[in-house]
Amino acid sequence: MREALTAAASRRVTRPAPLRQAVYDALTELIVSGSLKPGQHLVEAELAEHLGVSRQPVREALQRLQTDGWVDLRPAQGAFVHSPTEEEAAQLLGVRSVLETYSAQLAAQNAKPEDVEHLQELQREGVDALAAGDVERLVAANTALHAFITTVADNAVLAELISGVSQKVRWYYTPIARPRGKEAWNEHTQLIKAIAKGDADRAGEVMRKHTERTTDFYRKQIAASTSKD
């Protein structure tokens, strides 16, 4: 764990935010980014040292992280990064598929030429990141593209619901960003074309298939990992 935390030393928490929230946010980001991996033991003293805080806010953050499904607290053993099950992934990614399908339909109805141009810029960034093999940049580009489609959809309730699942979607997506990359970004191209044409039905269908393929890919990865164990 020390190596992962050392690599993420630049993420030391800042004081202006309430401390317990800042520690929670920092630890969540370390988990989402893969710096802290599923099943990894979390030692309070080490986390406190690397985040530059006392152990108390770390302990409070770990309690909340357990409640939110990021961490498992085991009696007499301590805290461990949660390892998502296939069923958990299927449920969350299934909800994401429904929400983002509707988001794509609305985006196709609302998109202006400058919105399409920005989507194409985000697409180019993702393709470039894939070519460079830069996973962090690739995940960021994917997140930005999907987030901008939600922005163009212009539905505040939908945006709030998507925001509620987006962080865990990013967590699940990070380990498959490269192997799923080429197919996923080809699908993004088709999605942007549908949005540019204002074809809501086509945009929704492309997004539905896109998110379902990501879900299937992730579930197969979990199954393969389980069989190795």
**Residue-level pLDDT at 229:** 55
174, amino acid identity: T
**Residue-level pLDDT at 226:** 61
Bridge partner list, 78: 74
In this predicted structure, the answer to whether residue 120 has a pLDDT above a threshold of 60 is yes
**Residue-level pLDDT at 17:** 57
Vertex 165 angle, CA 149 and 22, to 5°:
105
SS3 41: strand
Alpha-carbon 76 to chain mean position:
31
| Cα-trace Rg, the chain | 19
In angstroms, the CA 22 to CA 151 distance is 26
**Residue-level pLDDT at 53:** 94
Residue 8 or 96, more confident: 96
**Residue-level pLDDT at 86:** 82
The pLDDT of 173-199, averaged and rounded, is 95
> 187-225 burial, b for 16+ CB within 10 Å, e for fewer?
bbebbbebbbeebbebbbbbbbebbeebbebbbebbeee
In angstroms, the CA 206 to CA 201 distance is 9
**Average pLDDT value for the chain:** 91
Residue 18: pLDDT band with limits 50, 70, 90: confident
Bridge partner list, 74: 78
Give this prediction's pTM.
Answer: 0.83
